[in-house]
Amino acid sequence: MPSKAVLKILNGENAGQEFVFDFNPTEYTVETGNRFQVINFPELSAPLLQFVTGEGETLSFELLLDDTLALGTKERPPLLKRLALLEKALAVDPELHAPPLVSFSWGQEILPQAVVEKLSKRFVLFNDEGLPVRVRLSLTLKRYLTPEQQKEAEDRHSADVSKLRLLREGENIFLLAAKEYGTVAAWRLIARENHLRNPLEVPVGTLLKLPPWRGPGV
């Protein structure tokens, strides 16, 4: 028998509760991305892009909940009760003061830790009392990583060494910072390390010391 897709609440007052979907998704979409800041310099023909942060991985899919056996009855369909449980995964938990963490599995664990970013419901069939008995769901989950897990997964720091670079024709320390450190913000580090009074007037051929980059606050 095929495994059912399951969304499980991991923490908060509803920890351990599971939402088992009636029908498995026919497909799902995984998205990742980066966010950049556009920085314009009058002397450049095109703006520089400064990396700001990575976008968390998201998982999106559509599902169908169906309680057509409740048609013709005056009882409240179980569908609405199950939807209430699903909505708990999106609501702010009183213990956490934030939405709870969830996991999503389908035969195997696909997202061990995530948050429900978006839930869309389209009711398409109703009983004689006007209560919904069929709903199409669009669900978006965003992977959750603790700061420790993120640090372990990806170290964005440069090597713990300094190096020397000659400023070439057509370069300035802003371009050099973007090329060597991946961010224009590092120009201040170069200017401070090399005691540059005016970073806009550094002669071509100047030997510059490039120290290790430890982040914008350094």
Domain ranges of the chain: 5-153, 163-210
Which amino acid makes up residue 90? L
pLDDT of residue 136: 95
Contact 186, 130 (CB under 8 A): no
Q: What is the pLDDT along the chain (218 residues), one digit of tens a residue?
A: 678 999 999 999 999 999 998 889 999 999 988 887 787 766 667 777 766 677 889 999 999 999 887 666 666 568 888 899 899 999 999 999 999 999 999 888 899 999 999 999 999 999 888 889 899 999 999 999 887 777 665 554 444 567 888 888 888 888 888 888 878 888 889 999 999 988 888 888 888 888 887 665 54
The pTM is what?
0.66
What fold characterizes domain 163-210? Membrane-bound Lytic Murein Transglycosylase D; Chain A (3.10.350)
d(CA 13, CA 15): 6
In this prediction, residue 158 carries a pLDDT of 47
- Whole-number Cα distances in Å, 94 to 91, 101, 131: 9, 13, 29
Contact 103, 109 (CB under 8 A): yes
CATH number of 5-153: 2.40.30
**CA quadruple 144, 149, 153, 155: dihedral sign:** positive
What does the alpha-carbon distance between residue 105 and residue 15 come to, in Å, rounded to a whole number?
16
What beta strand segments (E) does the chain contain? Answer: 5-9, 18-20, 28-39, 48-66, 102-106, 108-126, 132-143, 163-166, 207-210
